[in-house]
A = this chain, B = another copy of it.
Amino acid sequence: MKFIEGGVCAAKGYKAAGLHVGVKTRNKDKKDLALIVSDAECSTAAVYTKNVVKAAPLLVTKENLKDGKAKVVFANSGNANACAPHGEEYAHRMCSAVAEALGIQVDDIIVASTGVIGQTLPIETIEGGVDELISNLSYDGSNDAADAIMTTDLAKKELAVDFKVGGKVCKIGGIAKGSGMIHPNMGTMLAFLTTDCAISSEMLQEALLSATNVSFNRVSVDGDSSTNDMATLMANGLAENDEIIMKCEDYYIFAEALNNLCIELAKMIAADGEGATHLIICRVAGSKNELEAETISKSVISSTLTKAAIFGTDANWGRVLCAMGYSGVDFNPEKVSISFESTAGRITVCENGCGLPFDEELAKIILTEHDITIDIDLNDGNAECTCWGCDITYDYIKINGDYRT
């Protein structure tokens, strides 16, 4: 398995496009419609936000995917179409507009929105842009589509992998936008993935669910879980491998490639958290089981005080231990060791639950790097887990103190 270029168009038979039509009113350079079209019918899987308040397009997509089949992703940015008048009606109209223009079934469409909650979707504006959007479709269009789903994201997120299944080269590619899945920013986390591997929708759903659990679900930007989060995966089978219909060796090869792709996309999302200046990687080892390690790691990356300390390049490990302590996991604080690590070095600051004297200048140098690993050992077992977050900064406050107006 290796990482390759091409994003959501890397796999055979996928075109994509992006366009500005005016859903985003502030800036005409910013694309706000994205389209991904497969040349062939696809087995399709999806995971959705666990928020009780679900945006209209999620409900419509769920309905459309009941048969496990789709051909198209159609998404807008700039408006979440959540808690807004005519929500489901307008999500259906988005599907109809594209279905008619492409001559396909409406239920072959994955529809998504991201942006501000509670404002009426400018549906005519969107409908008016569909023809031009379709005319822009290209096998090199991943970049434009990735662009068009961004809101406060600073960096485009697209990536692909290739691997061999039964002698055939298969590819999985995707585009994503910030910020998380369990803890996503209101800006919504979206990931649209495509593959040319032949695989049944049941196996696809299973692979996507487990990939999400070890990637997007281990990211937190600010602990706020959105109404619009969604990750979808379409498989058009054009790689011509024998279709994966059970958990055979091929399935595990596919699943591993998908996991790796999703983990890298998840890290991109964490690193590009609103206003972030650091990627925080929290590795918890020596745990009795993976779930406890994950719970502790998530508590640390979600701790506002830890995030503020990393922003201040302050090796304030007391906040790390404190966040571990209120995670809900019962562990022995007296066995805990904590280190900070980056490309500039590694420093152990706590052992057996007690502070160690350490070189403050070296700590500062280590914490000045962009990627910071907080390395925790519970010394109480063999399980481990890594989650990803980012620091909280002045810019986060600035962006979110005036996002809507």
Contact = CB atoms under 8 A, between A and B. Distances in A.
Interface string A23-52: 000000000000000000000000000111
Interface string A280-316: 0000000000000000000000111100110110101
Contact of A304 (B52, B224, B226, B227): B224
B400 A305 contact: yes
B51 A83 contact: no
Contact of A52 (B311, B326, B360): B326
A405 B314 contact: yes
Interface in A107-158: 116-120
Given A224-B322, A322-B227, A350-B83, A329 B52 contact: yes
Contacts of A326: 50-52, 224-225
A226 B117 contact: no
A93 B314 CA distance: 31
Contacts of A312: 400-403, 405
Nearest to A187: B305
Contacts of A353: 53, 83
Interface string A306-342: 0011011010111101111111011101000000000
A349 B319 CA distance: 38
A330 B52 CA distance: 7
Nearest to A333: B53
A84 interface: yes
A186 interface: yes
A96 interface: no
A326 B354 CA distance: 36
Chain multiplicity (copies):
2
A183 B224 CA distance: 16
B304 A360 contact: no
A379 interface: no
Given A52-B330, A312-B402, A397-B393, A318 B354 contact: no
Contact of A118 (B119, B186, B354): B354
A184 to B, nearest CB: 10
A397 B394 contact: yes
A381 interface: no
A53 B322 CA distance: 7
A393 B402 CA distance: 12
B397 A305 contact: no
A276 interface: no
A223 interface: yes
A350 B118 contact: yes
A343 to B, nearest CB: 22
Contact of A318 (B85, B116, B185, B397): B116
Contacts of A311: 397, 401
Contacts of A84: 354-355
Name the residue among A50, A53, A331 with the largest chain B CB count within 10 angstroms: A53
Contacts of A186: 305, 318-319, 322
Given A53-B321, A83-B354, A308-B397, 8 more contacts: A52-B330, A83-B350, A85-B355, A116-B318, A117-B318, A118-B318, A118-B354, A227-B322
6 contacts: A83-B318, A118-B321, A118-B355, A224-B319, A226-B322, A227-B321
